[in-house]
A = this chain, B = another copy of it.
Amino acid sequence: MKNFNNNIRKVKPYIPGEQPQEINVIKLNTNENPYPPSPNILEVLKTINDDCLRLYPDPESKILVKALADFYNLNENQVFVGIGSDDVLAMCFLTFFNSLNPIIFPDITYSFYNVWADLFNIPYKYSVLDKNFMIVKEDYFKENGGIIFPNPNAPTGLEMNISDIEDILMHNKDVIVIVDEAYVDFGSHSALPLIKKYKNLIIVQTFSKSRSFAGVRIGYAMGDSELIESLNNVKHSFNSYTINQITLKLGVEVLKNKVYFLDTLKKIESTREWTKKELRKLGFFFQDSKANFIFARHNICPAKELFEALRNQHIYVRHFESARIHDYLRISIGTQKQMETVVSFLKDYLEYR
């Protein structure tokens, strides 16, 4: 054991879903959008010149911040951008969760929350979802150092209604409350209108899912200008130039084609509802997901077995080993055709196993 090891931070990193390098797989394991972003996007790449490569980007990402502010009808000082919502959330943990009291988040939720808390030595407590996997709002009424939960929650896909979120806010005026809306565009309701009334509320969203931009890395936070200023101060104490020149231009462009965006969402939602019906017929059980995935267990067949069987067919879904959810698979919603293939395989498999 070398002495310098004592100075090294020891952490257990988050494990993302795999990114298989084979082609012709059906990839339903990381909640990507099965449809490409609007066709005008690739045109932007033709406008990239040497100066975009050679010169530092605007450290304040102004063109992207402005495009987001316009889209959501906010002021520019109410918007913060980062390298995907993971970057934004990491910055939020570092900026807002500096109390000796534990922060609270659900026991079944995005499994990066406890990783960030561990990384930054932030004390935390889980609130236990009820037996239907719903968040129990009263769990968040006790003294705490901050609150974070996704809405809809992941990997359950379940939405909490806005009046319950407001109830949590009313009970938590002395801490920062973060609502992680990575999946909100697939038919849920955003808590964004509440930022006017609650100066301690941060909404985090991402281009990765609903805007087909997982490969580009853009996430953003919205909230009162004072919170956004604190986030920016921390960001500028970490890395001045984060979002590169090409990404800034792509991000501005992807916000433009709203018709295409809404059309894509409609297709995914419709395929999700179709998939739910078919999975129920096959003996799957799940709550009513409002995200671009379904979190399901089968009445008879173990999740791990299904996971492996699907994988052998080059169909990738996500399986978590943790307690309470190891019987479940998280299946992202692909194209209608992909989901028909999946349902048809599952039908055969469950019949003949």
Residues of A within 8 A of B (CB): 2-4, 6-16, 19, 27, 30, 32-37, 41-42, 45-46, 48-59, 83-84, 86-87, 90, 94-99, 112, 115-116, 118-119, 145-146, 173-176, 199-200, 208, 212-217, 227, 230, 232-242, 244-247, 250
Q: Is the interface of A mostly helix, strand, loop or mixed?
A: loop
- Name the B residues within 8 Å of A175 (CB-CB): 3-4, 7
What is the count of identical protomers in the complex? 2
A273 to B199, CA, bound (A): 56
Contact A90 B53 (CB under 8 A): no
Q: Could you show 9 A-B contacts with beta carbons less than 8 Å apart?
A: A2-B174, A13-B235, A27-B55, A33-B54, A35-B54, A42-B49, A56-B208, A217-B241, A244-B247
With contacts A2-B200, A56-B19, A199-B2 taken as known, whether A245 is within 8 angstroms of B215 at the C-beta atoms is yes
A216 to B245, CA, bound (A): 7
- Name the B residues within 8 Å of A145 (CB-CB): 7
A85 to chain B, nearest CB (A): 10
- Name the B residues within 8 Å of A208 (CB-CB): 56
Candidates B8, B12, B27, B118; contact of A95 at CB < 8 Å:
B8
Contact B42 A55 (CB under 8 A): no
With contacts A16-B59, A87-B242, A240-B86 taken as known, whether A213 is within 8 angstroms of B53 at the C-beta atoms is yes
